Amino acid sequence: MRARLIYNPTSGHETMTNSVGDVLDILEQAGYEASAFRTTPEENSAQKEAKRAALAGFDLLVAAGGDGTINEVVNGIAELDKRPQLAIIPSGTTNDFARALKIPREDPIEAAKIILNKKFLPMDIGKANDKYFMNIAAGGSMTELTYEVPSALKSVLGYLAYLVKGAEMLPKIGPTKMKIEYDEGEYVGSASMFFIAMTNSVGGFEQVVPDQQFSDGLFTLIVIKTSNLKDIVHLIALALNGGRHVDNDKIIYTNSRKIKITPEDDKKLMINLDGEYGGDAPMEFDNLQQHIDIYANTSELKDSISDSVKIETKQVNNEEK
């Protein structure tokens, strides 16, 4: 059994580099012949290495970095017929995906120890035209702040940088005309933002999608139909207060296996995939159910895992013992 650690030395506060040796030791304890790859400034460095390692027959890939690095690794293996298992070591700014899977986000060593539990989930992956994402896709004027936060500021301030830029941009939020087609119907009109979630952690908050289930083959679609600043602040407050925004008449909140986003005017509609620019609409989204086996802190995820997935996880563990 072989494992390949793919780590970004510049993500977050650059803490991962000093932990590489310890992580490799943990992988050896888990029964793997372990090696490491340090990503480079070359475009899609992590993605290319993930695909190369998968085609070379590695059994486990360990993605260490922020959500962008994890997204690259997912894109490197998602299109393959035979995909290695995946483990996450968060060392970025928001670490939404690790937060959703209850993986320790402050200590790379503790995150790596999740692998020793030998418990993983068959996780859904989203496909957006010819790209893939594992946590969120979004578009509209409210998402533009993610493109405007300088990398240096993100490294120093972390998620606070997004909050500062978000507060600065709130007065600039405006409507975008779009057509959104989903399983139960369609919406044609103005929206300040839509997002398509695969976990319950969005931008560092866990109440935006309070009823999200892992591995059920369904996206959660949220469309914010208003661009009124007072309304948006009220919706944010409701979301933070126990996820009470889901029944508000100023949003659409629904589940869907397939979604299509089309701009309704000549304006460019940029799509954000896992925190990075992922192309322009029109864009079609497909949920690839239980597509990649990903290690998770399953003991703390009981409310987010369906009974069928629990049984499958238990069976896998029993077979390995």
Phi-psi group of 67: left, alpha or beta (phi > 0 → left; psi -120 to 50 → alpha; rest → beta):
alpha
Residue 143: DSSP 8-state: G
- Find out whether 272 and 139 touch, Cβ atoms under 8 Å: yes
Catalytic residue among 181, 206, 264, 276: 276
Distances (CA, A) of 9 to 12, 37, 229: 9, 10, 39
- Find out whether 78 and 291 touch, Cβ atoms under 8 Å: yes
At residue 227, what is the residue type? S
* 276 classed as catalytic: yes
At residue 276, what is the residue type? E
* Angle formed at CA 288 by CA 299 and CA 74, multiple of 5 degrees: 75
- Find out whether 89 and 63 touch, Cβ atoms under 8 Å: yes
* Residues labelled as active-site residues: 276
